[in-house]
Structure 1
Amino acid sequence: MAETFTGDRIILKDLGFYGYHGVFAEEATLGQRFFIDIELGIDLSVPATTDRLSTGISYADIYDVVKAGFETRRMKLLEAVAQNIVDGIFETFQSVNWIVIRVRKPEAPIAMVRGEAGIELHRHRKSQ
């Protein structure tokens, strides 16, 4: 059965970070830029009708959790970086039902003339 990622969502795109994630030694010493796009599946009907931040999630708070997940520890794989962020979002924001996250590395150490390397994870909150 295919999982769906429909409904309301909060979207943050092109969040830029400098980090030392990667397999190669130069990535650990020199570091590089990373960009993160994230979508959080959450019912936004209450904040939409009340116009009160207290009924929703602050974008700044989401950013802080993404930043902490990105910077917590050095990892070799983008997949692990993304999963660390997903875990932090689910732990911090109980109202988030699903997450789509994309982590992009524009200066990946491969022979690309243009473009970037990246991954995308789709995760649903596990039932308790």
Structure 2
Amino acid sequence: MGKITLNNIRLFGYHGCFLEEKKIGSYYTINVEIELNLDKPSISDKLSETIDYVELYYIIKKEMKINSKLIEHLSRRIIHKIKNKYKKFLIKHIKVKICKENPPIQGNKIDRICVTLYE
């Protein structure tokens, strides 16, 4: 077994329930962890036998462009896109953590709020 992890992807998006979040937008930090069997590619050295982390990045970037009220919803979409694209690799576990930087919480200073989904 093994894991492929993308850490601290920073992208801009327009997610949230408040009108100002949809107009102004915010930066988000995304972390994705995928657990699967990496025995075959670790021996063969073939990209075709593993999940391409560049393609993972583009899946995340594409989903970030689709506005959601909740980052929970965004996280679920990312998980499902990854699972559908890489069915042949029999993914055992996916974890997606999305953090909204500087969320608008009535003038209070909060660095970020995060949501983590597992499947």
Q: How does the TM-score come out when normalised to structure 1?
A: 0.84
The separation in 1 between residues aligned to 2:56 and 2:48, in whole angstroms, is 14
* Residue in structure 1 matching 2:21, options 22, 27, 43: 27
Is this contact kept in 2: 1:70–1:84, CA < 8 A?
no
| Bigger helix share | 2
Is this contact kept in 2: 1:103–1:118, CA < 8 A?
yes
| Matching residue of 2:83 | 90
Report SS of the residue matched to 1:86.
Answer: helix
Is this contact kept in 2: 1:21–1:78, CA < 8 A?
yes
The separation in 2 between residues aligned to 1:114 and 1:61, in whole angstroms, is 32
Q: Which has the higher contact order (CA 8 A, sep 6+)?
A: 2
Map Cα deviations across residues 19-46 of structure 1 (whole Å, 9 max, x no partner). 1000111110011101100001111111
Once the two structures are superposed, the pairs formed by residues 1-128 of structure 1 within 5 Å of their partners are 7-71=1-65, 73-94=66-87, 95=89, 96-110=91-105, 111-123=107-119
Gaps of 5+ in 2: none
Gaps of 5+ in 1: 1-6, 124-128
Report SS of the residue matched to 1:76.
Answer: coil
Q: How does the TM-score come out when normalised to structure 2?
A: 0.90
| Structure 2 counterpart of 1:78, one-letter code | I
CA-based RMSD: 1.3
| Structure 2 counterpart of 1:52, one-letter code | K
The separation in 2 between residues aligned to 1:115 and 1:31, in whole angstroms, is 15
Is this contact kept in 1: 2:103–2:111, CA < 8 A?
no
Q: Which runs of 4+ in 1 moved over 6 A?
A: none
